[in-house]
Amino acid sequence: MTKRIRRLMVANRSEIAIRVFRAAAEMDIGTVAIYAEEDRLSLHRLKSDEAYRVGAGKGPLQAYLDIDDIVATAVRVEVDAIHPGYGFLSESPEFAEACAAAGIIFIGPSPETMRQLGNKVAARNLAIAAGVSVMPATDPLPEDAAEIKRLAAQVGYPVMLKASWGGGGRGMRRVEDADKLLDEVDIAKREAGSAFGNDAVYLEKLVERARHVEVQILGDTHGNVVHLFERDCSVQRRNQKVVERAPAPYLDDATRQGLCDSAMRLCSHVGYVGAGTVEFLLDVDSGAFYFIEVNPRIQVEHTVTECVTGFDLVKAQILIAQGGRIGFPSETGIPWQDKIKLRDHALQCRITTENPENNFVPDYGIIKVYRGANGFGIRLDGGTAYSGAVITPFYDSMLEKVTAWGSTPREAVDRMDRALREFRIRGVATNLAFLENLINHPKFRAGEYTTRFIDETPDLFKFVRRRDR
């Protein structure tokens, strides 16, 4: 059933809220922001047509998790749809159900699909049923210590502890041997319980020399699924992505096709609707790849896919939610698979208010001077990147996303290098110098890196002072 969205609320904040508002404005859709009391001066509430406070009396994070108040506000101001962005409630089937019960379109997959894919163990089983290769792993770990040790030995050390629900590095612990296993399980369970409200964890075989590749997919309500190729997100620190590239510079055509086919096969199997990302680990030594998980939402790094395919993923989300059909550009802007082509190369860097010279401790305060990059081939997506912005300890430390693209990998990286050197941010510490060192490292430029690149490359932390202009 097709329903025209005329008023859209974003149940999120900062950069991703602004990104969705911009897409909606281009589609002549009215926009509604929500904000916590601590965000009353935030830029995202000024980028919308209307803004309403939610979560009165609750904390700065809990306000954005207050399903009852958010949905009640949406009903009161008569919005047609809610876009959850990423993080917060974006992977909450309960939120999607509450929207549906209130007669509001939830821009994302169905609650059933989120439940199927949100549990990583269940998602593994779906992948197996769809004929997609998976990493050797366990079911959720029992309480019995002896059985946990037996399961770990069966998988084979080293192993990775992972939260059964949720991602973002929470609950993830590398375990080298049996001596530290039980202590690490306790830590992982506490992290998972705190982050996701569910402390279930499981063990997965750890590939020592791996690359992290994810495939962007879109599915509509008519059963059509397409991919928009892959992104490399191997450059991570503490299981958090730092730099993303598209396409992955080291993939051959056969492996790329295999990854994309596997992602589509899984999403077709579950009847996936909306934007999603299917993540894989690629074994550098064998060339084999293994399914990790599905992120049933838009990703932070979606900008690089937009740059190399030319398609607006947020607009596609909205149009699919209205009932639009893939293959009919007037409805979704997304054609059939054979018309989607890779063009150019792109990478995204995340500028954060962290101090890399002090173990990346987040910094807070007022941005006294801000001068951003600009020019051909540069895209900026930010929510608090401006002079006078107050950086608080309440939220994520990401300040701005910088995306650069060019006709070759070298041109894209050179353009990013120029852009990073162009930035001037004073008043708070940032990771700009670290990013410059990283993208100029010979291994990065050659695409010769794994998921342990940052950990194994100490010279990234030998900072050259940025010239003060």
Nearest to 83 by CA among 26, 17, 30: 17
Q: Rounded distance, CA 45 to CA 27, Å?
A: 19
Chain-centre distance of CA 246, in angstroms? 14
129: buried, middle or exposed (CB in 10 Å: 19+, 13-18, 0-12)?
exposed
Instruction: Please give the structure tokens belonging to residue 169.
Output: 């590095």
Instruction: Please give the structure tokens belonging to residue 6.
Output: 């005329």
Distances, alpha carbon 242 to alpha carbons 11, 115, 233, 351, 355, in Å: 25, 28, 8, 9, 14
The active-site residue, picked from 47, 120, 241, 401, is: 241
Active site residue 241: yes
Element containing residue 15 per DSSP (H, E): helix 14-26
Q: Rounded distance, CA 402 to CA 55, Å?
A: 31
Q: Rounded distance, CA 17 to CA 382, Å?
A: 10
Instruction: Please give the structure tokens belonging to residue 171.
Output: 């609950």
Q: DSSP string of 272-335?
A: --EEEEEEEEEETTT--EEEEEEE-S--TTHHHHHHHH---HHHHHHHHHTT--TT-HHHHS--
On the CB side of 384, CA atoms within 13 Å amount to 25
Instruction: Determine contact, residues 29/4, Cβ cutoff 8 Å.
Output: no
454: helix, strand or coil:
coil
Q: Rounded distance, CA 89 to CA 340, Å?
A: 31
Positions marked catalytic? 241
